Structure 1
Amino acid sequence: MRVEPTVPAEVLAAVRAPLESAGAERADAPLLQPLNLLLDLAGEAMRARLFVVQAEGGAESCLRPDFTVAIARQHIEGGRAAGLYWYEGAAFRSAAGSDRPEEFVQIGLEMFSPGGGAVEQADAEIAGLAWRSAVAGGRDDLSLALGDVALFGAFVDSLGLAEGLAARLRRVAGRPRLLWAELARTSSPTDATGGTLAGLLSGLDQAQAAALLEEVWALAGVEPVGGRGPAEIAARLVRKAEATNAPALTEAQAEAIRGFMAIDDTPAYAFARMRELAGPNDAALKAALAGWETRLLELSRAAPADRTRFTPALGHAFDYYDGITFEVRSAALGTERPVAVGGRYDGLLARLGGPADARAVGCMVRPWRAWTGGEA
């Protein structure tokens, strides 16, 4: 395993200081994390980037690829409505086709709050703290990229699509490969069943589909491997069939979405371009853009406006983000190696068993990348 070089203690302290001084309490997370949970949140494609561990006869686990899910689970189990936690420790994740370190240090902050009220100020506060922490490493070539998963949903709603199609687009907003596949469906004929087995399962509820899949396995003498249960596999096959049978985008609608995904400009120009591309049902989009005026005003106190760009399609490896997303980038390292990342992930808490209306936003900084003498 390739291990990231050690960062000088004074650099770690400088990067840590903005997050630690925010009034947060120290948190930690177990080194081993449940594999199936992370795959459900990030998609099966993430498996190749994780370090999987399994004792004989036991469930599959993986070395901690990130802290956010683990800290969120601990917060929910603690039964507190609000919480602010900072952490520091090693994470383990590979980058396909590269020689980057697979064990690296992260310093981060997670903020949890009860439902209700506006989120813009908290979003700006966390993004501002991520900027200050990244800048503390000494680099002078940093910029701040902003995005918003919720804006994509509002834009899709403006186009007046069938609800099933709109819901599917919103679901894959953070997964570029799946989104581009959906956009390509305007001109590519597909199998109307989504595959024989998927088509067979598509009319059944989850329990019935899982039972039928188990029966097929038994008849074929198949022993499932990899820790994925029949219910999970059946659900994926059903979604595949539903996606294939659902209405496709028109070419004009697909072109509007491609234009939206291509936006990368100053916030003012980015927002103007979104309004140009939007369909007639744009009330939700206008409301979402109005909230960004508050975020940008708050954020201007931490990050210089001339180093800020808006890229609405900005996403991360883990696709549980459902609001603001952001990255602090170094010109020397490029867009594939951000110095800091973060965003809002309210829906994750409900998926982990927390309150349906709970709020969550956080950030993570890579000290080795933030340090002017570090990654090059």
Structure 2
Amino acid sequence: MKTASERRAALNRLVESRTVTRVSPPLLLPAGPFFDLAGEEFGRALLLTTASTGIEYCLRPDFTLPIAQTYIEDGLVGVPAAYTYLGTIFRQQDGLPVEFEQAGLELLGQPDAGNALDQVLTFARWALAIYDINAPFVRLGGVGLFESFLAAADISPAWQARIRHRFGHPDAMARVMERLSIPRERNAVEAPDGREAVIEIVTDAMLQGGLSLVGGRTPEEVADRYIEKQALDAAPLSDGTLQLLQDYLEVEDSAPAALDRIWSLTAAAGLDIEEPIQIVRNHAAALQALSPKADVIFDASFSPRLDYYTGVVFEMTNDEGEVLASGGEYDRLLDRLGASQPVPASGCALWVDRLEQEATR
């Protein structure tokens, strides 16, 4: 068994390979991008402070977002780049500040996105091997596969967006599925013509009711929610499509068996999503070859709770379900940070403290 110092030396060698650039983003970062891109749930874990200018900052809670921002700010969009890191992140846990050590790899702008993801999976697997973890539980998900399924199925754009935004959030997805399963009568009242007309009606109603137009939900927000609801009610899913969606989300098995099941379900419904299914198959097979003793499961309902993920995603966990490594493809992040062109991106994060605990058990 390796000593702690030997494991640390091996991990340092992994993150300081000649083919990558090791980086260390600042400890204090603007909090705004984390709220905007990682969402309210992640925002509650931030450790915040406010500058005299009124701008909120946070102790570094993550490496991926600042690395992606720097890549764009340095004018590297369109240039292949590979970054590694090893350092401390800071978050709240049970109301208390906690420090964690993380290591990871981020591959940005690589010409072969599939190969980049396999490199990320290999990096994660090598890292676990340093800590003598040779048979992890691996859970794969397919964000891109699910989006292809939604696009191919008989589902309106409004419902596609609503379902997609709740993908990976079991409680929120359950509420959507419940709403879809309840028959609804069409509203017999003719809706106002156009968004501006709806805003006018809402504004008048708020004023007549003595409600302020500032400090709460604005007339524009209320109007947009009303228009969205009308669009959803006007395009309910058929019973067959709803059942297909439920069957899809319930698929969880060894990767080959799960993907065979999804192919059978979709082919029987006349949907052609063979290409995205094959993409997941290829990565699952590569990962299984890397880790012959690992349990590689495909969970059709699995996705990180960050909606900038786009393709194959994964978690590697211990027997108790603690995440040791996680990541995947996140092409949407660079676009949302203002990249001038699409940038393929793959990466993973390793929870070094948990890896150390596993190695000493």
TM-score with structure 2 setting the length: 0.81
**Letter of the structure 1 residue corresponding to residue 165 of structure 2:** R
Q: How many angstroms does 1:234 deviate by?
A: 7.6
User: Match for residue 303 of structure 2?
Assistant: 315
* Number of the residue aligned with 1:299: 287
Q: What do the CA deviations read for 1:35-84 (whole angstroms, capped 9, x no partner)?
A: 33212222223332222221345122222221111100001111122210
Aligned to 1:196: none
Whole-Å separation in 2 of the counterparts to 1:356 and 1:174: 27
The reply to whether residue 342 of structure 1 matches residue 295 of structure 2 is no
* 1:94 partner amino acid: Q
Structure 2 residue aligned with 1:256: 244
The aligned residue for residue 4 of structure 1 is none
Please point out which of 140, 146, 168 is paired with 1:146. 140
Q: What pairs up with 1:199-214 in 2 under 5 angstroms? A: 203-204=195-196
- Cα-to-partner distance string for 1:185-242 (whole Å, 9 max, x where unaligned): 124589999xxxxx99x9259xx89xx7xx98x9738557xxxxx8xx7886566434
Looking at structure 1, the residues matched to 339 and 275 of structure 2 have their Cα atoms a distance apart, in angstroms, of: 27
Inter-partner Cα distance in structure 1 for 2:183 and 2:30: 38
Q: CA deviation at 1:125?
A: 1.5
The count of aligned residue pairs is: 343
Find the residue that maps to 1:161 and give its secondary structure: coil
Cα distance in 1 for residues equivalent to 2:48 and 2:117: 33
Note closer, same or farther for the CA distance 1:241–1:64 as it changes in structure 2 (3 Å cut): farther
Counterpart residue number, 1:68: 64
| Residues 222 and 169 of structure 1, relative CA distance in 2, 3 Å threshold | closer
Q: Is the 8 A contact 2:102 2:352 kept in 1?
A: yes
**TM-score, structure 1 normalization:** 0.78
Matched-pair contact (CA < 8 Å) for 1:149–1:174: no
| Distance verdict in 2 for CA 1:368–1:234, change over 3 Å | farther
Q: C-alpha distance in 2, partners of 1:235/1:192?
A: 24
Which one has the largest radius of gyration?
Answer: 2
Is the alpha carbon distance of 1:237 and 1:125 closer, same or farther for their aligned partners in structure 2, counting shifts above 3 Å?
A: farther
Q: Percent identity?
A: 27
Distance 1:107 1:370 in 2: 11
Question: What is the letter of the counterpart of residue 108 of structure 1?
Answer: G
User: Which of 87, 90, 95 is equivalent to 2:88?
Assistant: 90
User: How far apart are the structure 1 equivalents of 2:81 and 2:161?
Assistant: 31
Aligned to 1:127: 121
Q: Please say if 1:28 is aligned against 2:24.
A: yes
Q: Which residue of 2 aligns with 1:357?
A: 342
- Separation of aligned partners in 1, 2:213 and 2:282: 60
Q: How far apart are the structure 2 equivalents of 1:175 and 1:187?
A: 18
Tell me the secondary structure at the aligned position of residue 29 of structure 2.
Answer: strand
Counterparts of 1:1-376 in structure 2 under 5 Å? 8-21=4-17, 23-80=19-76, 81-95=79-93, 102-113=98-109, 118-188=112-182, 203-204=195-196, 220=212, 240-245=225-230, 246=232, 247-278=235-266, 280-283=269-272, 285-304=273-292, 306-331=294-319, 333-334=320-321, 337-373=322-358
Distance of 2:269 and 2:18 partners within structure 1: 43
Report if aligned partners of 2:180, 2:236 keep a CA contact under 8 Å in 1.
Answer: yes
Would the alpha carbon gap of residues 91 and 318 (structure 1) be closer, same or farther in structure 2, given more than 3 Å must change? farther
Deviation at 1:308, TM superposition (A): 1.4
